[in-house]
């Protein structure tokens, strides 16, 4: 307690800017990620405007030149994957929840944690700076395929691609350090009694994501160094005329890029599971099988990468094995999805805003998973590769995890983070608008793709066969603008709740995990008395107990003290 008082005396800078407190660092990531999301949405708006009304003046911006369009597409992917999804799902929820959920006072390496954030901040600054240099930011696509990315004359850019590579390298360093911290914290600092199989599912998912990231990003770090050398030292790793091979980059990129999909998916699934079990008042169905299949899926994610390259010119004999592994990886995820449905089965569901977003994650992800089977099998993919069908597919999977999952997490843990409740009515309005307009954008996008519209083209009207789908494209753009505008409901709710929201109780949702046993928001070093754990986190509605819920720190003897 004395120690806590000493820390209270820290000044503003020490408490909020260079803090080593994992909760503050999580909030720093949250601010940065939401800031980037605004920019990501702005790029999406401009891209959609250009597709619906090619070569007209975009409202609020002006004429979008083809070169600028390429940069916008590149930056949209880069920002959303690396500067919104990664920090939101891993850094915000991982940082905030792992120490609290395992009953630790902080991360294993608090200073390293702060360093991770500041490296990420630097990566953000480098990427943002690339918007303002002559010839603009990178324009070779978020996948950065050479030779487009290797030689400036192909994209008309300047140092934008170099800054893009440096920014990504810094970001990877930041997340590697973050992952090391997550793993060490969870392995070494768990509260007494908190065995591996008493950990909440989301902690397992965060750890699996950290391991997947750690083991897959290395080759891309190497690949990025080689690409920087190609651009600046005249080497020819990716240039066929010097004995190199552009396919090498594609392999290095997707060896990381596909596991990355699961790095982004698993934390979202974890949030969904935690929220659903609380508002269904039922234990997670098949807890151990979920953990085993998560690990199996993590392993499988390393051997599916070439399904991004069926028509790249790689040996076509590779298509069959990669088709098979890709279809196989849907099995563990099907098991997880069925477990979630079984958790919901026969339960008493309360449709709060976090629950709505969690159910939205589930529904949207099932849709995206099903179109994934189309893309995964080589014969179908040869037809739909590089079309808007693929774009629609990966937005269904990633938007589900990152935004529906992310919002579920924010609405659910907001009281614990900031000590105030978010407004339920605004939350529900936000959900329904987001859900309707999201589907309004991306269901028609499948049709556009099946009609043959290619990704990344700035003006579909140049193609005779695409002229007929112009009305559909205009509809999608309208829906996209409405989708972006409906996020204002969230912005209003967020800031209003932060200042004026109802003061939150310690455990407003009557949940079992350890973070709800401390105050809202938790004090510096989290727990006034170090918690001990007696049970797994999902004892809801036990048949032989009078209590509706039993927190993890409740021993058998005192179990009956909890009133439903």
Give, rounded to a whole angstrom, the gap between the first and last alpha carbons of the chain: 32
Backbone angles phi, psi at 386, to 5 degrees: 60, 20
User: Would you tell me how many other CB atoms lie within 10 Å of the CB of residue 462?
Assistant: 11
Choose, by CB under 8 A, the member of 216, 347, 353, 517 that binds other proteins: 216
Q: Is 346 in the site for other proteins (CB under 8 A)?
A: no
The span from the CA of 55 to the CA of 455, in Å, is: 17
The span from the CA of 521 to the CA of 126, in Å, is: 33
Q: Is 519 in the site for other proteins (CB under 8 A)?
A: no
Peptide bond into 147 cis (omega under 30): yes
Site string for other proteins, 127-166 (x = CB under 8 A): ----------------------------------------
Task: Work out whether strand 57-58 and strand 62-63 pair parallel, antiparallel, or are unpaired.
Answer: antiparallel
Q: Is 243 in the site for other proteins (CB under 8 A)?
A: yes
Least distance CB 297 / other proteins (angstroms): 19
Choose, by CB under 8 A, the member of 98, 126, 150, 217 that binds other proteins: 217
Least distance CB 525 / other proteins (angstroms): 10
What burial letters (b/e) apply to 277-312, b meaning 16+ CB within 10 Å? bbbbbbbbbbbeebbebbebbbebbbbbbbbbbbee
Q: Is 255 in the site for other proteins (CB under 8 A)?
A: yes
Residue pair 172/220 in contact (Cβ under 8 Å)? The answer is yes
* DSSP tag of 63: E
The span from the CA of 70 to the CA of 103, in Å, is: 47
Candidates 221-229, 326-334, 431-439, 451-459: pick the segment binding other proteins (CB under 8 A): 221-229
Q: Residue 187 or 320: which CB sits closer to other proteins?
A: 187
Q: Is 244 in the site for other proteins (CB under 8 A)?
A: yes
Q: Residue 192 or 564: which CB sits closer to other proteins?
A: 192
Candidates 26-34, 214-222, 333-341, 496-504: pick the segment binding other proteins (CB under 8 A): 214-222
Residue pair 534/554 in contact (Cβ under 8 Å)? The answer is yes
By rule CB under 8 A, what count of residues binds other proteins?
A: 41
Counting runs of H as helices and runs of E as strands, what totals does the chain give? 19, 2
Least distance CB 53 / other proteins (angstroms): 43
Candidates 93-101, 174-182, 430-438, 542-550: pick the segment binding other proteins (CB under 8 A): 174-182
User: Would you tell me how many other CB atoms lie within 10 Å of the CB of residue 195?
Assistant: 9
Residue pair 512/537 in contact (Cβ under 8 Å)? The answer is yes
* DSSP tag of 58: E
Residue pair 358/408 in contact (Cβ under 8 Å)? The answer is yes
Choose, by CB under 8 A, the member of 58, 133, 135, 221 that binds other proteins: 221
Q: Under rule CB under 8 A, which residues in 83-122 are in contact with other proteins?
A: 105, 108-109, 112
Q: Is 454 in the site for other proteins (CB under 8 A)?
A: no
Q: Residue 178 or 268: which CB sits closer to other proteins?
A: 178
Least distance CB 105 / other proteins (angstroms): 8
Residues forming the site for other proteins (CB under 8 A):
1, 3, 105, 108-109, 112, 176, 179-181, 183-184, 187-189, 214-223, 225-226, 229, 233-237, 242-245, 248, 252, 255, 530
């Amino acid at each position: 307690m004395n120690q806590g008082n000493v820390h209270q005396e820290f000044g503003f800078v020490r408490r909020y800017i260079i803090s080593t407190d994992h909760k503050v660092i999580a909030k720093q990531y949250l601010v940065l990620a939401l800031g980037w999301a605004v920019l990501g949405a702005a790029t999406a708006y401009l891209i959609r405007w250009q597709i619906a009304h090619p070569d007209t003046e975009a409202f609020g911006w002006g004429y979008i030149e083809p070169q600028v369009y390429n940069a916008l597409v590149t930056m949209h992917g880069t920002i959303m994957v690396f500067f919104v999804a990664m920090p939101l799902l891993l850094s915000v929820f991982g940082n905030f929840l792992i120490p609290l959920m395992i009953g630790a006072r902080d991360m294993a390496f608090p200073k390293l944690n702060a360093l991770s954030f500041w490296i990420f901040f630097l990566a953000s600054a480098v990427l943002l700076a690339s918007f303002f240099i002559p010839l603009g930011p990178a324009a070779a696509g978020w996948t950065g395929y050479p030779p487009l990315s290797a030689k400036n004359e192909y994209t008309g850019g300047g140092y934008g691609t170099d800054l893009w590579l440096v920014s990504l390298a810094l970001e990877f360093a930041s997340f590697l350090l973050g992952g090391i911290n997550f793993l060490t914290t969870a392995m070494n600092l768990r509260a007494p009694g908190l065995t591996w199989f008493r950990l909440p599912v989301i902690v397992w998912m965060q750890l699996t994501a950290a391991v997947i990231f750690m083991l897959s990003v290395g080759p891309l770090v190497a690949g990025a160094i080689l690409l920087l050398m190609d651009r600046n030292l005249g080497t020819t790793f990716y240039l066929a005329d010097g004995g190199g091979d552009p396919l090498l980059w594609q392999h290095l990129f997707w060896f990381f890029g596909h596991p990355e999909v699961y790095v982004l998916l698993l934390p979202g699934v974890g949030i969904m599971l935690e929220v659903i079990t609380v508002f269904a008042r039922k234990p997670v169905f098949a807890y151990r099988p979920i953990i085993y299949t998560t690990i199996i899926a993590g392993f499988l994610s390393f051997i599916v990468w070439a399904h991004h390259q069926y028509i790249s010119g790689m040996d076509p004999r590779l298509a069959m094995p990669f088709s098979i592994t890709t279809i196989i990886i849907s099995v563990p995820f099907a098991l997880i999805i069925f477990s979630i449905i079984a958790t919901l089965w026969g339960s008493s569901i309360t449709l709060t805003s976090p629950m709505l977003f969690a159910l939205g994650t589930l529904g949207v992800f099932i849709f995206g998973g099903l179109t994934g089977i189309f893309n995964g099998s080589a014969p179908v993919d040869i037809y739909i590769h590089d079309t808007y069908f693929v774009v629609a597919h990966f937005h269904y999977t990633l938007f589900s995890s990152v935004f529906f999952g992310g919002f579920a997490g924010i609405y659910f843990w907001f009281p614990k983070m900031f000590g105030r409740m978010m407004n339920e009515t605004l939350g529900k309005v936000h959900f329904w608008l987001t859900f309707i307009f999201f589907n309004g954008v991306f269901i028609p996008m499948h049709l556009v793709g099946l009609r043959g519209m290619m990704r990344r083209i700035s003006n579909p009207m140049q193609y005779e066969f695409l002229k007929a789908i112009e009305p559909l494209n205009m509809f999608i753009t309208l829906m996209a603008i409405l989708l972006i505008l409906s996020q204002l409901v969230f912005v209003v709710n967020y800031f209003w709740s932060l200042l004026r929201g109802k003061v939150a109780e310690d455990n407003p949702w009557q949940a079992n995990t350890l973070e709800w046993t401390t105050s809202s928001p938790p004090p510096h070093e989290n727990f006034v008395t170090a918690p001990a754990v007696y049970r797994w986190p999902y004892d809801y509605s036990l048949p032989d107990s009078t209590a509706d819920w039993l927190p993890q720190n409740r021993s058998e003897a005192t179990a009956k003290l909890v009133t439903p």
